[in-house]
Amino acid sequence: MQLIGRHGIGRMKCVGHLLAREGTLKINFDVAVKEGNLFLAAVCRNSSGAILHIRTNQVRGSQPPKGEALAARMAFALGMLFTDCEIIFEGDSLILVHQVVNEECIPDWLIEGEVETIRQFLMEQPAWKLQWTPREGDEMAHQLASLSVGDLSRDCIPIDIVSSDDSVSSRRADV
């Protein structure tokens, strides 16, 4: 499992969104919980940071772990549009990432189906990786999670959301 910054007890270094290396796509995912609904979002960007596709959805529910798992599964389904590419999937739920990448770990009953589905995606697509990122590295996905339902055109996204990662997007991750 690859982690950005430190986790657990101690301080975490906030690094913001990092670009993927050349030729690699990155799909960030997140959930927002509001009024008994889970708002899911996944954002696919190329190595220059340009948005290639955004997918959102809304489901009934109020449990953030379930929402994170559903958003991750939706992100992997979005990845199927780009099966010929190396893709890094990033989310800010360390618990979810841990349960997916550690096969010895028995998934929490609430998200077991999503964990098993994501593990299957990773087995079938060896060029895909799942990793954790701090919340600051997932800001666009989080903002989009509460915005809309369905596929969005880039032109429909408020400019302040489109540019929310620009201040740190010049940094590139060596992933």
Domain-embedded: residue 34: yes
pLDDT of residue 35: 85
Count how many domains the chain has: 1
Domain-embedded: residue 116: yes
Q: For residue 65, what pLDDT band results from cuts at 50, 70 and 90?
A: very high
pLDDT of residue 14: 40
Domain-embedded: residue 8: no
Give the domain range for residue 123. 24-162
Sort 130 into a burial class: Cβ within 10 Å, 0-12 / 13-18 / 19+: buried
Domain-embedded: residue 42: yes
Domain-embedded: residue 95: yes
pLDDT for residue 102 is more than 70: yes
Residue 17 CB: number of other CB atoms within 10 A? 25
pLDDT of residue 13: 39
Q: What are phi and psi of 144, to 5 degrees?
A: -70, -25
pLDDT of residue 22: 80
Domain-embedded: residue 169: no
* Residue pLDDT, tens place only, 147-170: 654 555 667 666 777 776 665 555
Domain-embedded: residue 108: yes
CATH number of the domain encompassing residue 136: 3.30.420.10
